[in-house]
Structure 1
Amino acid sequence: MIIIGIDPGTNTTGFGVVRYEKNKLMYLSSGIINLPENYSLSQKLERIYDNIVDIIESYHPNECAIEDVFFSKNVKSSLKLGHARGAAMLGALHHDIHISEYSAKEMKMAVVGNGNASKEQVHFMVKKILDIKKEMTFDESDALGIAICHAHRVKSPRASVKSWSAYIKAHPELIKS
C-alpha cells in the first residue's frame, strides 16, 4: 500500500509518500509546496491542488492521510487552513483515493509515543523510522508523520475505536441476544 501524507498550510504545504508492505515502512518521497505571499488565496489553493494531483499521478497512492484542522484563536487563519485542506483533499478525491484525517496529537502519539512531542522530536523520529539521511523541513516530517500514523491505524484498525460502546456499535454482529 502506498500512502500520501499531507500537512496542509497556506504558506507551505508539506507532503510525504511512503510504502507500507508486510509491516514495513519505506520512504518514497517528500517535499514542500511553497505558496508565494503575493498569491491570492485562490491561486494558492490551485497550486496546492495541482501539486497534489502531480504527486498522486507520480506515485499512485492507495490512501491519503491529512492533518486535521486545529482550533486557533485566529479564526481567519483556521478558515484559510480549512481551504488548504480542502484543495489537497479534492486532489485525492478526484483520484478515488480514500482520505483519513488525524490530529497533530494522534500523529505525535503514533510517531513519538507522546501526544505533546515537539516538532524536533517528530522530525528526529520520522527520519529514524524511515531511515532518511537527507535534510528535510518540519512540514515534510509532519506530512510523513501523518502517513506513518495512518500506516499504524491500518495495521491495527481497532485502535481507531475510542470506547467500548463505539466498538460495539461498529460491530453489532458480535453481540449475542
Structure 2
Amino acid sequence: MRLLGLDPGLRHTGWGIIEAEGNTLRHLANGAISSDGDLSLSERLVQLYDGISKVILDWQPAEAAVEETFVNKNPVSTLKLGQARGISLLVPSLNGLPVEEYAPNKIKKSVVGAGHAGKEQIHAMVGMLLPGCVIANEHAADALAVAICHAHYAGSNRSLKKATMMAGRAP
C-alpha cells in the first residue's frame, strides 16, 4: 500500500511517500512544499494546496496521514499552522484518500520507541527504517516519520473501523 505522510507548516510542509507491504517499508520519495513569505496568507495556502495536489497526482497514494498540531506559545503562529494543517487534511480528502491524524508523541513512539525522542533520533531511525533513503530536509524526514507511523497503525485502524461498522449493523 502506498502511503503519504504530511508534516504541515505554513513555510514548509514536508511530504513523504512510502510503500508498506506487510512489515516491509520502502521509500519512494520525499520533499517539502514551500510557500513564499512575501505573499498573502491566502496565496501561501494556495501554494500548499497546489503542491500537495501535485504530490498526490504524481505518486497516487492510497492513504494519507497528517501530524496533529501542537499548541505554540504564540497564538498567531498556532493559527497559521492550523490553517496549513487544514490544507494538509483537505487536499488528500478531496482526492478521495482516507486521512488519519497522529499526535507527535505517537509518531515518535512508533518510529523510535519513545514518545519524547529528539528530532535527531527520529531522523536517524527514519534512515534506518527506510534503507537507502536520501532525505531532502528536516520537514521531509518528519513527514516520512508520519508515513511510517501510519504504516504501523493503518491495518489496526481499518480493522477497528470495520468492526465498529459491523457492530452498528447487528440486530
TM-score normalised by structure 2 residue count? 0.89
Equivalent runs, 1:128-167 vs 2, <5 Å? 128-157=128-157
Q: State the one-letter code of the partner of 2:91.
A: G
Q: Identify if the C-alpha distance between structure 1 residues 20 and 80 changes in structure 2 by more than 3 Å, giving closer, same or farther.
A: same
Secondary structure, in 3 states, of the residue corresponding to 2:14?
strand
Residue equivalent to 1:8: 8
Distance, in Å, in 2 between the alignment partners of 1:104 and 1:62 is 22
Is the CA contact (8 Å cut-off) linking 1:16 and 1:30 kept in structure 2?
Answer: yes
Does residue 66 (structure 1) correspond to residue 63 (structure 2)? The answer is no
Give percent identity, aligned residues only: 39
CA deviation after TM superposition for structure 1 residue 172, in Å: 9.1
Residue equivalent to 2:89: 89
Residue equivalent to 2:107: 107
RMSD between aligned alpha carbons?
2.2
Query: Structure 1 stretch 148-157 or stretch 47-56: which is displaced more?
Result: 148-157
CA deviation after TM superposition for structure 1 residue 170, in Å: 4.8
CA deviation after TM superposition for structure 1 residue 133, in Å: 4.4
CA deviation after TM superposition for structure 1 residue 22, in Å: 2.7
Q: Number of matched residues? A: 166
Is the CA contact (8 Å cut-off) linking 2:112 and 2:121 kept in structure 1?
Answer: yes
CA deviation after TM superposition for structure 1 residue 155, in Å: 3.7
Distance, in Å, in 1 between the alignment partners of 2:6 and 2:157 is 21
Q: State the one-letter code of the partner of 1:42.
A: S
Q: State the one-letter code of the partner of 2:50.
A: D
Distance, in Å, in 2 between the alignment partners of 1:92 and 1:135 is 22
Distance, in Å, in 1 between the alignment partners of 2:143 and 2:22 is 22
CA deviation after TM superposition for structure 1 residue 157, in Å: 3.8
CA deviation after TM superposition for structure 1 residue 132, in Å: 3.2
Q: Identify if the C-alpha distance between structure 1 residues 86 and 104 changes in structure 2 by more than 3 Å, giving closer, same or farther.
A: same
Distance, in Å, in 1 between the alignment partners of 2:110 and 2:124 is 14
Distance, in Å, in 1 between the alignment partners of 2:133 and 2:99 is 29
Is the CA contact (8 Å cut-off) linking 2:27 and 2:133 kept in structure 1?
Answer: no
